[in-house]
Structure 1
């Protein structure tokens, strides 16, 4: 396993590439962001581009929001640019109290907000089946976010959608994804984390029909073209800095915890939903890195910490099972602890983590998987 020589991201991250010096493409992207991209020109390009969209009688754009730091920042930014957005929130799997508070705060920034209370019967069936099929407990929520926003854009005849940062530019990924400034059906299917499972594959699950799954089905090409829907990444036009995003969001009322969240050393990540912390843990068991690695890599690339500190933080925080999130998830789904453990173990990486003579994964006293020596971050 390679570890980036600049940050602490391992080569087990899907679609991550390294140059001849052992530097991952996310670090190379940051270098490009710092020295090669003319951000002033990008901003002018964006301001010129949005002129054609400021013709709608009610709204200039649609924004998908959760109330988290990123969507709060998106709303702040578009309001500063003189746009009037319609905000769409697709209800989280297991909402938190601080998440509700932050969503209300976003609403109070001065925007209209549609809060989608998805059908709980359909949603739970999708959630349980997706967890079994893909090992991703948030598959249905991510899909719902990316399908409902363009649906409302079509229904309200609003052609412009504003998304946040470009995940591939910030976290690394295929080169083809970094040159795209738009999010559409193709992006969702190629880079949106569906893990080979399409919504059409879920028809028939516990009696689910195509009609039941309409909300999770992307708007038709005919409707998209009729309205002219275009989804733009704000992070393509404005330099994205995680800590600046948090700082500005807090200045406009965004609340953080008084302690780190379960899966990392930060107190501002995934505050809207308990289930997101389990999603981060499942990434760890599959690929050997979790949210602490993501945060440490961003902090290193942005110059807030040195690599040595990043190594310490990753080894301290990554991999500890999020007990509160797991408890909430079991209560929500009805899975027993044994059923849950069996599914998680079926997706746990046998190359990275140690097993005993019976093939059972070894765990420390805190429940953390034991890594093989060659896979310890150094």
Structure 2
């Protein structure tokens, strides 16, 4: 296991590559953002491009939102540019009070908002099955976000969708993905985190039919072409900085917690849903890094902290089980603690974490998995 020599991201992150100097391509991408990209030219390109899509009598674009810092910033930026968006939120798995407040705040910025309340029986069936099949408790929610927004664009005949940051530009990925400014069906299937499980694979689970799963099925190519739907990454055209995003969102009513959220040292991440914290923990057990690593790496790349500080933060916060989130998730799904632990252990990386003579994973007194020495962040 290798760690980037500039940030603290390990090479276990899928699709992340390191150069001959041990630097990850996410750090190299940040260097490109700082030194090579002409952001004024990108902004001009965006403004010229969106003019082609201002054909709808009511709305200029569709934006998928959660009420988080990023989607709040997206809405603010779009309004600032003189566009009138139709916002769409796909209901979180286990909504939080502060998440609802932030969604109301986004709505009150002056936009129309469609709140999709998914069929709870179908959704819970997908949630439980996806957790067992992929080790991802949020598989069905991420899929729902990326399918319902294009469906709304088709249904309202709005050709332009504006997404947030480009994940490959911000967090690393194949070089060709950094030059793509669009999110479409191909992007979803390649980079959308489906983990090899398609919605068609869920037909028949507890009697689920193709019709039951319509909401989670991407709009047909025929409909996409008829309306001319194009999904653009805002972060491809405007330089994305999470601290600036947070600052602007807070200045416009976005609320944060008075303490860090579970799984990291920040108080502004994934505030809309308890289940997201479990998702971050599951990433840790699979790949040896979690939300604290994600945050620390971004802070290093953006120049807010040193790599030494990042190492300290990661070793302090990454890997502690999010007990409140797990409790909420067990209440929601009906899984017993024993069933839950068995599924989590089946996805836990045996190369990274210690096991005893019986093959059981070794844990600290707080329930954290114990790493092998060679996998400790340094």
**TM-score by structure 2 length?**
1.00
| SS, match of residue 162 in structure 2 | strand
1:92-171 matches, cutoff 5 A: 92-171=92-171
Give the alignment of 1:13-24 within 5 angstroms: 13-24=13-24
Alignment correspondent of 2:284: 284
Q: Secondary structure at the match of 2:363?
A: coil
* DSSP 3-state at the match of 2:281: helix
Query: Secondary structure of the residue that 1:49 maps to in structure 2?
Result: helix
Other-structure match for 1:70:
70
| Aligned-residue offset at 1:177 | 1.3
Distance in 2 (CA, whole Å) between partners of 1:339 and 1:93 is 19
Cα distance in 2 between the residues matched to 1:176 and 1:43: 21
5 Å-filtered alignment, 1:27-106, equals 27-106=27-106
CA deviation map 1:285-305 (0-9, x unaligned): 000000000000000000000
| Equivalent-residue separation in structure 2 for 1:36 and 1:2 (angstroms) | 27
What SS class does the counterpart of residue 326 from structure 1 fall into? helix
**So what's the TM-score if we normalise by structure 1?**
1.00
Paired with 1:174 and 1:93, the residues of 2 have a C-alpha distance of 30
Cα distance in structure 2, aligned partners of 1:124 and 1:325: 16
Report the counterpart of residue 296 of structure 1 in structure 2. 296
What 5-or-longer segments of structure 1 have no aligned partner?
none
SS of alignment partner, residue 102 of structure 2: helix
Matching residue of 1:255: 255
CA distance in 1, matches of 2:215, 2:48: 33
What is the RMSD of the two structures over their aligned residues, measured on CA atoms? 0.3
Quote the residue 1:232 is aligned against: 232
Residue 12 of structure 2: aligned partner? 12
Which SS does the other structure have where 1:53 is aligned? coil
User: Using the alignment, how far apart are the partners of 2:105 and 2:272 within structure 1?
Assistant: 13
Residue 55 of structure 1, CA deviation = 2.0
> 1:194 and 1:228 mapped to 2: Cα distance?
25
Aligned to 2:339: 339
Size of the aligned set, in residue pairs, is: 378
Which stretches of structure 1, 4 residues or longer, exceed 4 Å deviation after superposition?
none
Residue aligned with 1:162, SS:
strand
Tell me how far apart the structure 2 counterparts of residues 128 and 65 of structure 1 sit (CA, whole Å): 24
Matches within 5 A, 1:169-318: 169-318=169-318
CA distance in 1, matches of 2:10, 2:273: 27
Deviation at 1:52, TM superposition (A): 1.0
Q: CA deviation at 1:307?
A: 0.2
Shift of 1:173: 1.0
CA offsets 1:210-258 (integer angstroms, 9 cap, x no match) = 0000000000000000000000000000000000000000000000000
- Partner deviation per Cα, 1:159-207 (whole Å, 9 max, x = no partner): 0000000011101111121110000000000000000000000000000
Q: Give me the whole-angstrom Cα distance separating, in 2, the residues matched to 1:215 and 1:121.
A: 13
2-structure distance, mates of 1:2, 1:278: 25
User: 2:171 & 2:336 partners in 1: Cα distance?
Assistant: 34
Q: SS of the residue aligned with 1:86?
A: strand
